[in-house]
Amino acid sequence: MANMMLRYYISSGLRPVYIVNEFGKTGLDAEIIKADGFEAVEIEGGCICCTLKDDIGVAVAKVIEAFSPTNIVFEPSGIFIFDNFTDILKQPQLQGKCEIKNIFTVVDSVNFSHAKAIYGSFIYNQIKNAPVIILSKLEKTDTSVDEVICDIKNINPNALIFSKIFNEWDNLDFTALLNKYREPEVNYRSHGHIKFKTLSIAAKGDFSQERVNDLALKCSQGVFGDICRVKGVVMVDGVYMLINIAFNDVTISKFKGVTERSLTFIGDSINKKNIVDFIGV
């Protein structure tokens, strides 16, 4: 979604910059954006509404000074609470320099029901506070789109929901999206997120497709702990490949850039020994 928005801004003659709050020690999301030719800055090591709250204000001020962007596309970690971001923008170094233009919450239509069943109140509060919701992975879900929308509407009846397969979006869709922003109606200031653990580990060996499938299977079976996400770049049969695993959903694609080969595991609990034994460090 982020690179689609960046392309839209550039096609409109604007100067966007992408900032990502990277969860883990590898700046993968920023590397993906850079590989597509965009300016990108990563802020790693924690959640911006907790440990990085002061750092992010300084970082955004530096980005504005260095790039003079017309727009900043900011992607926080998935454990983000919106109200805390408004506090960041009130810091002295940012006053008068930027303002919130749009807020979008992306809901994984493949894993929404599964994640809601596991993380309950946290997922509920994320949806409840979302003014505009965009459904992703619609081309992959076995669940009826109407069923997902109904489920979301039961949590937040006032949310504006966009449900269109990403590769079918055009500039008119983005124009409509950007014109539909409104402030969140719920003020939920309690942090209330799950304290996810992360493990980033080098993956220097050459993987096979079978080994990638085994990785996903072991994640789903709990061999590596209670894992909700794995992301990284590995060598698969001699080719740099980007791996994204969200619960049972596995996406593998060619990676355009060059970066350190590693995998980041995110979850409620992590079995480091089993992961190290599997990766072969």
Dump pLDDT digits (tens) for 114-169. Answer: 888 877 777 887 788 788 899 999 998 888 889 999 999 998 998 889 999 998 99
Give phi and psi for 239, each to the nearest 5: -125, 135
Which whole number is the average pLDDT over 233-243?
88
Percentage of the chain lying above the pLDDT 90 cut:
22
Percentage of the chain lying above the pLDDT 70 cut:
81
Domains located in the chain, CATH noted: 2-178 (3.40.50.300), 197-279 (3.30.1220.10)
Residues linked to residue 254 through DSSP beta bridges, in sequence order: 241
Cα(122)–Cα(125) distance, integer angstroms = 5
Dump pLDDT digits (tens) for 14-23. Answer: 999 988 876 6
Q: Confirm whether pTM is higher than 0.85.
A: no
- The number of residues making up the chain comes to 281
What pLDDT is stored for residue 116 in this prediction?
81
Least confident of 47-61, 97-111, 265-279: 47-61
Q: Which residues are CB-contacts of 90 (< 8 A; sequence separation ≥ 6)?
A: none
Residues linked to residue 234 through DSSP beta bridges, in sequence order: 241
Please say if the pLDDT value at position 24 is more than 70: no
The strand pair at 197-202 and 206-207 is best described as: unpaired
Please say if the pLDDT value at position 98 is more than 90: no
Mean pLDDT of the chain: 81
User: How far is the CA of 96 from the CAs of 55, 61, 92, 241, 264, in angstroms?
Assistant: 18, 11, 9, 42, 37
Cα(263)–Cα(215) distance, integer angstroms = 11
What pLDDT is stored for residue 224 in this prediction?
95
Give phi and psi for 102, each to the nearest 5: -145, 150
Dump pLDDT digits (tens) for 26-80. Answer: 556 677 777 667 777 776 655 444 444 557 788 888 889 888 999 999 887 655 5
Alpha helices in the chain (DSSP H): 2-11, 28-35, 53-67, 82-89, 112-128, 145-155, 171-178, 209-221, 272-279
Cα(135)–Cα(132) distance, integer angstroms = 10
What pLDDT is stored for residue 44 in this prediction?
62
What pLDDT is stored for residue 102 in this prediction?
83
Instruction: Find how far residue 245's CA is from the centre of its chain.
Output: 12
Instruction: Report residue 145 as tokens.
Output: 């789109």
Give phi and psi for 137, each to the nearest 5: 60, 30
